[in-house]
Amino acid sequence: MNLVEAVNSALREEMERDDRVMVLGEDVGRAGGVFRATEGLQKLFGEDRVVDTPLAESGIVGTAIGLALFGMRPVAEIQFMGFIYPAFDQIISHAGRMRNRSRGRFSVPLVIRAPYGGGIHAPEHHSESTEAIFAHTPGIKVVIPSNPYDAKGLLISAIRDPDPVVFLEPKRLYRAIKAEVPDGDYEVPIGNAAVAREGEQVTLIAWGSMVPIASDAADALAEEGIDVELIDVRTVTPLDSETIIESVKKTGRVVVVHEAPKTCGFGAEIIAMINERAFLSLSAPPQRVTGFDIVFPLLKSEHLYLPSVERISAAVRRVMEF
Amino acid sequence: MNDLFKEFDPLKDKMLRILDENGILNEQLAPALPDGKVPDFLRWMLLARAADQKALNLQRQGRMGTYASLLGQEAIQLGSAAAMGADDWFFPSYRELLVCIYRGLPLSNVYLYWMGNEIGSRIPEGVNMFPFSVPVGSQILHAVGAAWAAKLQKRKIVVAVYFGDGATSEGDFHEGLNFAGVLRAPVVFICQNNQYAISVPLRRQTAAATIAQKAVAYGFEGIRVDGNDVFACYAATKAAFDKARAGGGPTLIEAVTYRLGAHTTSDDPLRYRDDSEVEQWRASDPLTRLEKYLRARQLINDNFVAEAKAEADARVEQAVTEAEAVEPPAPPDLFQYMFKEMPASLKEQLASLTELFPLKENKRG
């Protein structure tokens, strides 16, 4: 099963299990979503549970907040992360605050799914990866799977989570990798990073679409005799600091990889956290391999923007040679 | 009931008014209300006025933070609140003190909120409202979503949402009305058109002749009512609720009223409007109008008014005493409602704060 099928499978099974779960967004019904993530769901569950909404992102998320407040379990789809900004006010001003604002009386069990990231030769505003601005928002969880197994398990957890979750899907990986994904119920808990590859010399930290690239870099570096431990963050917030700190204490060297712009990217947060908690374990200054502080380029230039095996390997060599 | 909406079509420059400024009632349009209920309306409006004035005083004394007065808007607040059914819900903005207390929120909660104590925003079980929403207009979508859920769940309830004229410039107003129209959601939009969004007058919010007519573009009825006439406000809201409950979809009510005071205690309206304008509207004060009617019908006398005012003052003082007795939230209160379960990162941050501040459990926390 590939990643987009895993997403579809999680949605289908959760809708079967719990009739409060509903899907809403632009083109999610008859068309099955622009990436086919919701394919077939409207036929199975009807137009009341898989809803083609008017084209309005704030409208989708704002009404989904109301649906959630009134006992539904809405899963809202924003077609591309680059279009999520009209809904940002609803996410930051209301979804993330309602439990606190009502001192626990009301909560917003809402999932907002959005494909994120570049690498698929998309037009403008279709390649954004700005998870850091959501991570900076109190009251929101930010989850980014990197493989089909995690995508299904994490999405099931997100739907069952009593709080709002921004669930970012690496669209570059939607069809790039296949993996064994069990039919039926399993959860991958939110808030747990995975050690995707064990190693002794340097900790490479990545999430979402950067995990396979980082993994390729680790393979290449192994041939040079560099033993890389790769951590797949999986949940940006709440961050699993323990897994990261444990690894850094073992290796003493860190490279964080993300495709979002460098300044105030989530890599900065991870490195600050490492400095606070494991400074004396470090043998070299932590490095970042990131996108640049520029508008995500159109398709002819996107390879220049995206972190590559070469850029990651170079950064790892830098921390090894320090 | 839909006749009211046909008869008072905003596109035909119609506005529903039942009780005029001299307290004369249009018997043909008057809603069915038992005589005994109407003096109660005045009692509630007097309570709101006393509560409002007290809040302004407390703010000046430094005992309350910024406060948003409802002075002059009592008729639409009371009329609409009284028209809701027991199981109906509403989403306020931040100026709906009278709607809130009429629908069962303790006045001390309203005071606590404006005093800056978060505990005030916990809505007690059984009170069918959501907390205040300060970003302008964004709560409109929540009401549509909630009404949509009610429809899916086949619950016979209606959801109301309150906002001002400024909110009708926001995208969420348009997205909310559009969704509601498409979904035929059982929702009633109540715009308190008090003529100003802080300093900006209505003519700079919209080039449309009325706010009510905007409903037409979204495919459902709008109605313009005299917002200082409690009977018109009640009748229009009741009709809108009945319509929604019967599956007739949404309604937009524009209550034409006036904010007699400042936007909030941080605002100085002398900078942007003339006293003469305020005085003109003062003549249309909803309390005076209702009182004239009730006296003419001999439903109340001097004694009633004096007693109602004394009772209101006593309730207000009681609410202030209660609110001021509540301790501010302790550090754990600030952290514990961010998520159902506190993640490790928040536990760490809380621990760093509690090192500086001793733990103290809150009485009403």
Domain for residue A182, yes or no? no
Rounded mean pLDDT of A113-118? 97
On average, the pLDDT of chain A sits at 97
Q: How confident is the model at residue B35 (pLDDT cuts 50, 70, 90)?
A: confident
Nearest by CB to A191, which of B149, B333, B343?
B343
Range of the domain at A118: 3-173
pLDDT confidence of residue B358: 65
**Structural domains of chain B sorted by starting position, each given as residue range(s) with its CATH number in brackets:** 4-329 (3.40.50.970), 331-364 (no CATH)
Measure the CA–CA gap between B218 and B14, rounded to whole angstroms: 19
Which residues are bridge partners to B221 per DSSP?
B251
Interval A194-232: pLDDT, tens: 999 999 999 999 999 999 999 999 999 999 999 999 999
Are residues A125 and A252 located together in one domain of the fold? no
Measured between CA atoms, the residue of chain A closest to residue B132 is A101
Interval B307-363: pLDDT, tens: 999 999 999 999 999 999 999 998 999 999 999 999 999 999 999 998 887 665 544
Interval B124-153: pLDDT, tens: 999 999 999 999 999 999 999 999 999 999
Interval B81-100: pLDDT, tens: 999 999 999 999 999 999 99
Interface A:B, Cβ pairs < 8 A: 142
pLDDT confidence of residue B203: 94
Are residues A72 and A161 located together in one domain of the fold? yes
Indicate the number of domains in chain A. 2
Measure the CA–CA gap between B57 and B80, rounded to whole angstroms: 27
Answer whether residue A108 shows pLDDT above 80. yes
CATH number of residue A301's parent domain: 3.40.50.920
Q: Is B118 in contact with A65 (Cβ distance < 8 A)?
A: no
Last residue of a domain, one of A125, A143, A173: A173
Q: Is B122 in contact with A54 (Cβ distance < 8 A)?
A: no
Domain for residue A187, yes or no? no
Nearest by CB to B141, which of A48, A90, A103?
A90
Are residues A161 and A65 located together in one domain of the fold? yes
Domain for residue A289, yes or no? yes
Are residues A48 and A169 located together in one domain of the fold? yes
Closest Cα in chain B, distance from residue A264 (Å): 19
CB of A46 within 8 Å of any CB in chain B? no
Are residues A61 and A169 located together in one domain of the fold? yes
Closest Cα in chain B, distance from residue A165 (Å): 11
Closest Cα in chain B, distance from residue A4 (Å): 28
Q: Is B345 in contact with A241 (Cβ distance < 8 A)?
A: yes
Nearest by CB to A54, which of B179, B333, B345?
B179
Rounded mean pLDDT of A119-123? 92
Nearest by CB to B142, which of A94, A104, A141?
A94
Rounded mean pLDDT of B183-208? 97
Catalytic residue numbers of A? Answer: 126
Greatest Cα-to-Cα distance within chain A, rounded to the nearest angstrom: 60
Closest Cα in chain A, distance from residue B124 (Å): 8
Q: Is B141 in contact with A138 (Cβ distance < 8 A)?
A: no
- Calculate what percentage of chain A has a pLDDT beyond 90: 99
Measure the CA–CA gap between B147 and B241, rounded to whole angstroms: 12
Q: How confident is the model at residue B72 (pLDDT cuts 50, 70, 90)?
A: very high
Q: Is B179 in contact with A191 (Cβ distance < 8 A)?
A: no
Last residue of a domain, one of A121, A139, A173: A173
> Among B43, B49, B95, B263, which one carries the catalytic annotation?
B263
Are residues A14 and A152 located together in one domain of the fold? yes
Are residues A82 and A117 located together in one domain of the fold? yes
Measure the CA–CA gap between A234 and A224, rounded to whole angstroms: 28
CA atoms within 13 A on the CB side of A225: 2
Measure the CA–CA gap between A167 and A76, rounded to whole angstroms: 10
Q: How confident is the model at residue B1 (pLDDT cuts 50, 70, 90)?
A: very low
Interval B211-256: pLDDT, tens: 999 999 999 999 999 999 999 999 999 999 999 999 999 999 999 9
Domain for residue A189, yes or no? no
Domain for residue A178, yes or no? no
Nearest by CB to A59, which of B143, B179, B345?
B179
CATH number of residue A49's parent domain: 3.40.50.970
Q: Is A63 in contact with B346 (Cβ distance < 8 A)?
A: no
Closest Cα in chain B, distance from residue A235 (Å): 12
Residues with Cβ < 8 Å from B79, sequence gap 6 or more?
B41, B229, B230, B231, B232, B233, B234, B235, B237
Interval A80-94: pLDDT, tens: 999 999 999 999 999
pLDDT confidence of residue B359: 61
Q: Which residues on chain A are in Cβ contact (under 8 Å) with B175?
A: 54, 56, 58-59, 62
Q: Is A139 in contact with B123 (Cβ distance < 8 A)?
A: no
Sign of CA dihedral B308, B314, B318, B320: positive
Q: Which residues on chain B are in Cβ contact (under 8 Å) with A104?
A: 122, 336-337
Are residues A157 and A227 located together in one domain of the fold? no
Element (H, E) at B160: strand B159-164
Are residues A154 and A208 located together in one domain of the fold? no
Domain for residue A286, yes or no? yes
Are residues A200 and A169 located together in one domain of the fold? no
Query: Do the beta carbons of residue B227 and residue B78 sit within 8 Å?
Result: no
Domain for residue A121, yes or no? yes
Query: Which one, of A35, A18, A17, lies nearest residue A71 by Cα?
Result: A18
Mutation choice for A interface testing from B119, B139, B337, B364 by most A CBs within 10 A:
B337
> Among B155, B272, B297, B337, which one carries the catalytic annotation?
B272
Last residue of a domain, one of A173, A202, A231: A173
Torsion of Cα atoms, B349 then B355 then B356 then B357, to 10°: 90
Q: Which residues on chain B are in Cβ contact (under 8 Å) with A163?
A: 339-340
Query: Which one, of B1, B19, B37, lies nearest residue B230 by Cα?
Result: B19
Interval B283-304: pLDDT, tens: 999 999 999 999 999 999 999 9
Interval A228-273: pLDDT, tens: 999 999 999 999 999 999 999 999 999 999 999 999 999 999 999 9
Q: Which residues on chain B are in Cβ contact (under 8 Å) with A107?
A: 340
Domain for residue A184, yes or no? no
Interval A131-189: pLDDT, tens: 999 999 999 999 999 999 999 999 999 999 999 999 999 999 999 999 999 998 999 99
Closest Cα in chain B, distance from residue A38 (Å): 20
Are residues A131 and A223 located together in one domain of the fold? no
- Cα Rg, chain A, nearest whole Å: 19
pLDDT confidence of residue B356: 82
CB of A238 within 8 Å of any CB in chain B? yes
Q: Which residues on chain A are in Cβ contact (under 8 Å) with B121?
A: 101-103
Measured between CA atoms, the residue of chain B closest to residue A24 is B145
Sign of CA dihedral B244, B91, B256, B315: positive
Are residues A237 and A168 located together in one domain of the fold? no
Q: What is the ipTM of this complex?
A: 0.92
